[in-house]
Amino acid sequence: MSVLIQAQYECFVENSLVNVRTLFTPKDIQQIAEKAGFEITTEKIIDSTHLQDGKWEIEYTLTDYKELIEAADHLPIKYKALIQSEMHLLEEARSQNKYTFTARIGE
């Protein structure tokens, strides 16, 4: 969710130094892997609550982006409301489980 919020905001920013600018969903990554010649052999959700990067992205989004969005005069009002609602969901969820898959080169 934090990556979705960051990617949405970054669509309206010309110059940025942030970590996330584009959102890749599990389906996007699967399609990229398949186009590169890989065959997906397994899929699962893994517990990644011990990883610091996800926590960092969430906290960064909840603190820095909250201020950026409130001050962003260039965003449409409805769009700002959508992102703020997503941030409320992020505050409630804070889930760290991640999707993963295993693939091999197709024959």
pLDDT of residue 95: 58
CA distance linking residue 72 with residue 74, whole number of Å: 5
Q: Which residue has the higher pLDDT, 55 or 76?
A: 76
Q: How far apart are the first and last CA of the chain?
A: 36
Other C-beta atoms within 10 Å of 5: how many? Answer: 25
Which residue in this structure is represented by tokens 């962003």?
Answer: 72
CA distance linking residue 19 with residue 36, whole number of Å: 25
Q: Which residue has the higher pLDDT, 102 or 86?
A: 86
Q: Residue 30 above 90 pLDDT?
A: yes
Q: List, for residues 43-73, the tens digit of each pLDDT value.
A: 888 877 777 767 778 888 888 877 888 778 8
pTM, 2 dp: 0.63
